[in-house]
Amino acid sequence: MFITFEGPEGAGKSTLIRSLASELESLGHDVLTTREPGAGEFGQAIRSLLLHGDDLPATSEVFLFLADRSHHMVKIIQPALNEDRVVLCDRHAESTIVYQGYARGLDVELLRKMNLMATGNVRPDLIFLLDLPVEVGLSRIENKDRLDSEPIEFHQKVRDGFLAEREREPSRWHKIDATQAPQAILTEALGEIKKRLK
Ligand code: T5A
């Protein structure tokens, strides 16, 4: 099962993934936790260009995210899915649609096609949207990277974009109120996964 975690900055994705992985492992599942950008050495190199480099043209930015994604799919995610592992991935294709499409203004329909090319047409079985007011998320981040430092209007477009994407395809998404305590978020996410694993 391929599960991704999306949301505005500081929504608590990494915190949730860590505790979900340990709960799922204790239930006997073989779990892989991973992230975009930045899985493996190739992903790490792209991550530092994307998050810690100078300003980038929007098209260079999108090609870097897609280069990371295609490598990640072929080398890490697909092999794990072939072994029936539960893959928990911190951000994936929907972040490109929302950050580079809704927020940066690139053509969303073109980005959907580019995503499918990068993933070999594989899409997540379940997408968690950790939703919260952007000011709350940003206030949780201590060291802001290049994208965290975008103006508040950019982050608002990101939040609105995720909510709109969820409306397009509600059965694939599960929205969680990310202002709740971590334990409540974990319980809700675990319940949803168990329901879908049946
Ligand atoms: N991006 C990514 C694109 O533009 N296009 C793409 O295609 C892709 C894949 C990645 C950046 O790249 C962009 C999106 C991002 O800007 P990143 O460093 O990987 O950057 O960062 P994010 O994925 O954005 O993750 P964040 O660092 O914003 O945070 P998380 O993982 O959502 O949150 P987490 O768990 O680290 O928590 C943040 C803080 O909040 C606390 C935690 O303890 C931590 O201190 N916290 C809570 N506090 C209160 N209540 C809760 N429920 C809490 N849960 C966690």
C-beta atoms surrounding 30 within 10 Å: 12
Where residue 109 falls among pLDDT bands split at 50, 70, 90? Answer: very high
List, in order of start, the domains of the chain with CATH numbers: 2-197 (3.40.50.300)
Q: Calculate mean pLDDT across residues 97-121.
A: 98
Residue 6 Cβ inside 6 Å of ligand 1? The answer reads: no
Q: What percent of the chain has pLDDT over 90?
A: 97
Per DSSP, which regions of the chain are E strands?
2-6, 31-35, 86-90, 126-131, 173-177
Task: Please indicate, yes or no, whether the overall pTM of this predicted structure exceeds 0.75.
Answer: yes
- pLDDT surpassing 80 at residue 101: yes
Which ligand 1 atom sits closest to the C-alpha of 7? 32
How high is the pLDDT of residue 54?
82
| pLDDT digits 0-9 by tens, 163-191 | 999 999 999 999 999 999 999 999 999 99
- Specify the pairing of strand 126-131 against strand 2-6: parallel
Query: Do 173 and 165 meet the contact criterion of CB atoms below 8 Å apart?
Result: yes
- Residue 67 alpha carbon to ligand 1 centre in Å: 21
Instruction: Spell 74-105 as b/e; 16+ CB within 10 A means b.
Output: eebbbebbeeebbbbbbbbbbbbbbbbbbbbe
| pLDDT digits 0-9 by tens, 35-47 | 999 999 999 999 9
Which ligand 1 atom sits closest to the C-alpha of 180? 52
